[in-house]
């Protein structure tokens, strides 16, 4: 065997070994979901304002570490579009957010069902519009949630969950809660 073929063989074996080793540690994933029912509450006015928003959407990318046969830890970046809320036709609020999440995932290896907890911190961008003014705020926000899903052997996952986001905008607390459903793919 000549030197080039030997080097190529060594490189291929190394790459395959690295992939196998990396796959034992964990894997990359990405996904998207729709917020089926977002309710946004603004607390801090004379009376709290509640409104169900338009359908929102979320997209995330992360890395899932294999901690144990039944436990995995996801670290992900997530973009959330919360939709538009129209409060009594007097104020429109649009919000989006970027989060870094920790997501412990508990897997039943026999059924491929899983449950997960979500904890995140990030930046929430809110835009308030009235008839005569428009104000934007960017604030730190926190979110938490729960999720159940099914991991197909192909790497595809489907899931259903519930999230709550909280942020303080000066003297107003913005709280967005709701269910979501989506799909993700693991490499």
C-alpha neighbours within 13 Å on the C-beta side of residue 171:
4
In this predicted model, what pLDDT tens digit does every residue of 27-59 receive, in sequence order?
Answer: 999 999 999 888 888 876 666 666 677 788 999
In this predicted model, what pLDDT tens digit does every residue of 151-180 receive, in sequence order?
Answer: 999 999 999 999 999 999 888 888 899 999
Give the C-alpha separation, 68 to 106, whole Å.
9
Pairing, β 156-169 against β 134-151: antiparallel
What dotted CATH number matches 22-186? 2.40.160.20
Beta bridge partners of 161: 147, 180
Give the C-alpha separation, 72 to 27, whole Å.
10
């Amino acid at each position: 065997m000549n030197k080039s073929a030997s080097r190529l063989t060594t490189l291929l074996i190394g790459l395959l070994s690295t992939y196998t080793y990396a796959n034992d540690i964990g894997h990359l994933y990405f996904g998207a979901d729709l917020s089926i029912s977002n309710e946004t509450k603004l607390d801090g006015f004379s009376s709290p304002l509640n409104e169900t928003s338009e359908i929102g959407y979320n997209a995330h990318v992360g890395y899932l570490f294999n901690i144990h046969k039944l436990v995995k830890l996801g670290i992900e970046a997530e973009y959330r579009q919360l939709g538009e809320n129209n409060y009594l036709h007097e104020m429109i609020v649009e919000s989006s957010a970027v989060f870094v999440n920790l997501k412990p995932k508990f897997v039943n290896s026999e059924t491929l069902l899983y449950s997960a907890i979500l904890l995140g911190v990030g930046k929430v961008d809110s835009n308030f519009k009235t008839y005569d003014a428009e104000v934007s705020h960017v604030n730190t926000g926190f979110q938490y949630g729960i999720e159940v899903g099914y991991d197909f052997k192909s790497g595809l996952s489907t899931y259903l969950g519930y999230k709550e986001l909280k942020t303080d905008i000066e003297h107003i607390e913005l709280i967005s809660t709701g269910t979501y459903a989506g799909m993700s793919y693991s490499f």
